[in-house]
Structure 1
């Protein structure tokens, strides 16, 4: 117990393992549709978590993280093209490495820019990358995109999950479990990184670049490093998105996706991983719920579908006005104040 109290990393490891075990049982109880929603929340939260670290901790605003998700998705699609069977771990690692490399190149250029110019440069990236798939239609499939075959479930994983749950595992259940495991691992790494010396340097660069430079902190290296980490998260999210949706197409990686990630971070709270998860869940589940409510009220399918963006927009405006730090970011100080009273 003494070792557990004195080691935050060990506590986070135990929490991560416990969350993974609980998520396996919860996913097993859900329908295929709900399992797909869990997978969607997971890969959106991974990308939003990386963006939250980049913007909230390091102070860089990126409007192009949908482009890094596209890089991860197309990397996965090309590796499994023509029915090639590639281990799932290799697919995910390849997507992360490719996004990391491109993120390093973009990060070096972005590190020389300040304020809105960084957002403008990444905005251009978000617009340009989907267009490349249309221009190189022979290689990247054009507007229809590339089909992504469902990965085979490894026998070891199948046996282990059957041992835990006592039921046969389906493809969507496997993808939801993998996506959730990747989410837990990513948040575990981001949490440790943000609390380490590197994370403290990122905050120093955000708060006062001049003072950070006088303290011996390399501004460019820290900005590029944070950008690369964030891009790698987006690449992993893109690979999972391609596996879940079974396609990598330009229509899935438009500027709207990048803005959706920004919205998830704003709703949850900048710099908070739990806020990124909450924002991703809200953006995934709220439209479906509002559409179902609209249909129940007698609206047509078109009217119900148009109602969802309206409610989402009003919700975002309300959060910005009433809770500028985000829902999780605004509640956290209240919970910290109430904790001593509970004792």
Structure 2
């Protein structure tokens, strides 16, 4: 994703097509469980990419993106229930529910963004934290509609018959998740490289200077929050489709905190950091299970370690990144690439 910055729209489109080809090859090479994990990375990537644009590129701190993911998940579940008796093909039900999740996320983001446009720093964090607390609790308050603690079932999207009868379900999940995520990333990359992208960075760097240069600061903040919320809702919708359930336990307050920590560790100043953050969100719990399985713990103690080890690892990584590499993993990646390019250039100069 780093090489997309500053490139032309055509080059970005070609690189997105290359990424799609790599995902396609990986879906055939991986086993079913790893395919499911790859699809989960795509779902998280929608949310981390939107959060990177909001927090990293526009400077608005959000602690409520887990709740925005929940809004997309419940929209899919409710829309599927509403369309259950309609004579609509399953693929169109899938498209309509995803569009519905995007619409709800944009609407919620616009409302919260209007309120957040006047807030800064801890006040904005407090507002989004309130959203993260309130939205999951609505599931228990309106249990008859939203299913209470058990949540609502989400029907599995079966592979279209055009793909053939032998396509494994997990491979179809990968194709579905990345078919939504990659175009979304392309749109975000074009957005942050456009004039609006320069405006949102200007607002982040100095609001007074941005206002004096003719930028509508309030409008920029609201639009950015709306775009970010829409991305999070799409990520939540994909997660509900992958896990086949929309429940408050899947989108707790800690998810919002983990999303923010993931984009900080990955790198706030580019969408490449969002990719690293999504990978961490999926890889760390799996790594914790592997480490716990190697330790001679009783089952109860092993379960506690498995639940707490990812949190501890996230915390340690966050402290290390803030102390040693504030630009995150993506910044280290850029530095390494730059060092390799400079070394090759110096070798060419010497040989001449």
TM over 0.5: yes
**What residue is the counterpart of 1:182 in the other structure?**
180
Corresponding residue for residue 3 of structure 1: none
How much has 1:334 moved relative to structure 2? 4.3
Asked if structure 2 preserves the Cα contact closer than 8 Å seen for 1:72 and 1:238, the reply is yes
**Aligned-partner Cα distance in 1 for 2:293–2:55:** 38
Paired with 2:286 and 2:197, the residues of 1 have a C-alpha distance of: 37
Per-residue deviation, 1:82? 7.3
Query: Would you say 1:317 and 2:319 are equivalent positions?
Result: yes
Q: Structure 2 vs 1, CA of residues 113 and 279 (structure 1 numbering), >3 Å: closer, same or farther?
A: same
Q: Which moved more, 1:329-338 or 1:271-280?
A: 329-338
Partner of 1:201: 199
The separation in 1 between residues aligned to 2:257 and 2:25, in whole angstroms, is 33
Counterpart residue number, 1:144: 150
Aligned to 2:309: 307
Q: Could you tell me how far 1:42 is from its partner in structure 2?
A: 1.1
2:54 maps to 1:54: yes
**Which secondary structure state, in structure 1, belongs to the residue aligned with residue 327 of structure 2?**
coil
Aligned to 2:26: 26
The question of 1:102 aligning with 2:102 is answered no
Distance 2:212 2:340 in 1: 39
> Does the aligned pair in 1 maintain the 2:53–2:228 contact within 8 Å?
yes
Which structure 2 segments of 5+ residues have no match? 1-5, 85-89, 346-352
Name the structure 2 match of 1:252. Answer: 250
RMSD over aligned Cα atoms: 1.8
TM-score, scaled to structure 1: 0.91
- Using the alignment, how far apart are the partners of 2:233 and 2:34 within structure 1? 24
Q: Aligned residue for 1:218? A: 216
Distance 1:295 1:270, change over 3 A: same
Aligned 8 A contact 2:104 2:233 in 1: yes
Is 1:131 paired with 2:137? yes
Residue 83 of structure 1: how far off its partner (Å): 7.8
Q: C-alpha distance in 2, partners of 1:249/1:174?
A: 23
Mapped pair 1:230 → 2:228: yes
Deviates more, 1:220-229 or 1:266-275: 266-275
Distance 2:178 2:316 in 1: 29
Kindly provide the CA deviation profile for residues 100-131 of structure 1, in whole angstroms up to 9, marking residues without a partner as x. 01111110110011121111101000000001
Change (3 A) 1:323 1:300: farther
Match of 1:280 among 278, 281, 290: 278
Q: Which structure 1 residue ranges, 5 or more long, are not aligned?
A: 1-5, 163-167
**Equivalent residue for 2:262?**
264
Post-superposition CA distance 1:222-266 (Å, at most 9, x none): 000110110010010000000011100011111111011101101
Contact (CA 8 Å) 2:261, 2:314: kept in 1 or not? no
Distance 1:311 1:103 in 2: 31
Conservation of the 8 A alpha-carbon contact between 2:80 and 2:93: no
Tell me the distance in 1 between the aligned counterparts of 2:49 and 2:121. 21
**1:339 aligned to which of 313, 323, 341:** 341
Q: Could you say which residue in structure 2 is the equivalent of 1:292? A: 290
